[in-house]
A and B are shown apart, each in its own frame.
Chain A
Amino acid sequence: MKLKDLPKKAVDKVKNFRLTRRVFSYPYILFLLLFVVTPLVIVLVNAFIYDGTLSFQNFVDLATDGSSLKVLGTSIVVGIVTTVICLLLGYPVAYILAKWKSGSVLVVLFILPMWVNFLIRTYALQTIFENMAMTLGMGTVIFGMVYNFIPFMIMPLHTTISNIDKSFKEAAQDLGASPVQTFFKSTLPLSLPGIISGITMVFIPTISAFAISQLLSNNSIILFGDSINLKFENKLYGVGSVMSLIMLALVLLSNFFINKINKGEAAKNLW
């Protein structure tokens, strides 16, 4: 009885397989597994392979290599300074545009340059710096980063600030708050989700940027993203993989924070 049941069940399962709508997702799930998940798993595996054996040597190498640590330090400094400047310059832009009726049109003008390839924009900056006889170095790299990534700060800030209910501001004013108090007690805290999105959307691309810092510093400043590329160019797959993992962990961590604060609305803010 039981023995007969089993094949029958299997046959039923095959018979019951219909071309339901969810089947349409299977090829893409396979694609994702193959071309997105597997490559990352290979990076993970490579991080633990040293000289053909399993070991933590790559992590040790990275932690004890002075030049890599310097790259990490420089990246964090450039990342933080760029992010702070973008926030200080971008917040007023988003705030003013949110007040204007034409703001939603004007914000497009702030985002438009992003669609011009970053190599073209970086070349233009480089040429301007050279014409002004400025020495290429830390200052020019940070200027270039701010120039490249400030749209990523303005975008989420503008979305958040223009969605704040006007009655909060009116209530604060009715209750006797000065404009400065209204801003710091009402508008600023309410725009926190936009600030967090903006910070991660500037910080992460800045430290993982490729080619910008090379071009704007005459190869004298190397950031984390360039360094990953250099490690792979020099066939140091193990250390390069460890650095990629660190970068990936940073990305996932910051994305987790955004999602937590925005409660699942992060995707909407992206574009």
Chain B
Amino acid sequence: MVRKIAEKGYIFLMLGILYAPILMIIIYSFSNTNNFTFPEGFTFEAYVQLFTNAPKKLWDSLLNTIIIAVVSSVLSTLIGAISAVGIYYLKPRARRIVENVNQLPIINSEIVMAVSLMLFFATFGFPQGYVRLIIGHVSFCTPYVILSVMPRLMQMDPNIYEAALDLGASPIKALFKVIIPTILPGVISGFAMAFTISLDDFIITQLNKGASTGIDTLSTYLYSSLRNASGLKPFWLPVFSIIILLVVFIVLFSNLHSYKKGGKKEGK
């Protein structure tokens, strides 16, 4: 009995520590300060400031973040889905090699990826700006798409594809009627993953955005504001709160969804 209470207490204590800083941000987003105090009492002023008086740079960087995330996640999903099918049908040895190289961007430290891309772009004189950023984002997002499509292909019954061919479907038709519907859930979750990873990225963007282009994403703009001696403007706290609420909503929703689906499968 004592043990059970201790266990519960420990879990809730850890959760408490984990969530306290995040909750603080949400609470103090209503204080119109950046230092977690309430000098003016409870106020919506920071939110008002955010939507009426925030620097244009904030909205520009938000737009950049979204553009880069959309373009690179769509590209990675297309490349990833198509090549996952190709990789699956490679000869075992070639497949193993490609799968291992595909792992590299996932296991490698981001800082090493970032500097290697920076050197590469500089060596070959790639145009600065979006091109570099999107290539960089695609290179670390695509491996995740492939990893989420691959298990689907492995679960697929190869006889169905053969049966489609026997019944007179052309290989292209069989691809569209058999393989694509099978991998679709993996493609969708791969897309979601690529999109979030691209949104969340800081290091690779920071090192490859190029100082002269003036392109900033939300995270690199935040970083330069954090390093600014005057500290963050109060409007940042509402920005953080909105991001946090979106994350909580999306993660809980997607997990609840997969949990329900998993439960159904087990029930069978």
Which residues on A sit within 8 Å (CB–CB) of B223? 119, 211
Q: Which of A92-115 contact B (CB under 8 A)?
A: 92-93, 96-97, 99, 104-106, 108-110, 112-113, 115
Whether the Cβ atoms of B207 and A36 lie closer than 8 Å is no
Q: Is A188 interfacial (CB 8 A cutoff)?
A: no
Contact (A36, B139) CB under 8 Å given A110-B14, A113-B22: yes
Q: Once the chains are docked, how many angstroms separate the CA of A74 from the CA of B252?
A: 38
Which residues on B sit within 8 Å (CB–CB) of A118? 202
- For A28, give its contact among B35, B112, B117, B142 (CB under 8 Å): B142
- For B85, give its contact among A21, A43, A128 (CB under 8 Å): A21
Q: Once the chains are docked, how many angstroms separate the CA of A22 from the CA of B92?
A: 11
Q: How far is the CB of B231 from chain A (nearest CB, A)?
A: 9
* Stretch from A51-59, A134-142, A224-232 at the B interface: A224-232
Whether the Cβ atoms of A116 and B243 lie closer than 8 Å is yes
Q: How many residues of A contact B (CB 8 A)?
A: 74
Q: Is B203 interfacial (CB 8 A cutoff)?
A: yes
Whether the Cβ atoms of A117 and B200 lie closer than 8 Å is yes
Q: How many residues of B contact A (CB 8 A)?
A: 79
Q: Is B160 interfacial (CB 8 A cutoff)?
A: no
Whether the Cβ atoms of B86 and A25 lie closer than 8 Å is yes
- For A248, give its contact among B108, B252, B255 (CB under 8 Å): B108
Interface centre among A124, A208, A248 (most CB of B within 10 A): A124
Which residues on B sit within 8 Å (CB–CB) of A25? 83, 85-87, 89-90, 98
Q: Is A127 interfacial (CB 8 A cutoff)?
A: yes
Q: Once the chains are docked, how many angstroms separate the CA of A124 from the CA of B226?
A: 11
Q: Is B213 interfacial (CB 8 A cutoff)?
A: no
Q: Is A40 interfacial (CB 8 A cutoff)?
A: yes
Whether the Cβ atoms of A92 and B10 lie closer than 8 Å is yes
Q: Which of B11-56 contact A (CB under 8 A)?
A: 11, 14-15, 17-22, 24-25, 34-37
Interface bits B119-132 vs A (CB < 8 Å: 1, else 0): 11001000000000
- For B86, give its contact among A22, A105, A106, A125 (CB under 8 Å): A22
Whether the Cβ atoms of A38 and B120 lie closer than 8 Å is yes
Which residues on A sit within 8 Å (CB–CB) of B89? 20-22, 24-25
Q: Is B58 interfacial (CB 8 A cutoff)?
A: no
Q: How far is the CB of B209 from chain A (nearest CB, A)?
A: 13
Whether the Cβ atoms of A28 and B36 lie closer than 8 Å is no
Which residues on A sit within 8 Å (CB–CB) of B71? none
Whether the Cβ atoms of B107 and A131 lie closer than 8 Å is no
Q: Is B105 interfacial (CB 8 A cutoff)?
A: yes
Whether the Cβ atoms of A97 and B19 lie closer than 8 Å is no
Q: Once the chains are docked, how many angstroms separate the CA of A38 from the CA of B101?
A: 12
Which residues on B sit within 8 Å (CB–CB) of A35? 117, 120, 135, 138-139
Given contacts A35-B139, A147-B18, 13 further A-B contacts (CB under 8 A): A21-B89, A22-B86, A24-B82, A32-B98, A35-B135, A36-B105, A39-B120, A97-B11, A124-B240, A150-B18, A229-B207, A244-B116, A251-B108
- Nearest first, the 10 closest Cβ-Cβ pairs linking A and B are A25-B86, A24-B86, A28-B83, A124-B21, A39-B116, A208-B109, A39-B120, A21-B89, A22-B89, A225-B111
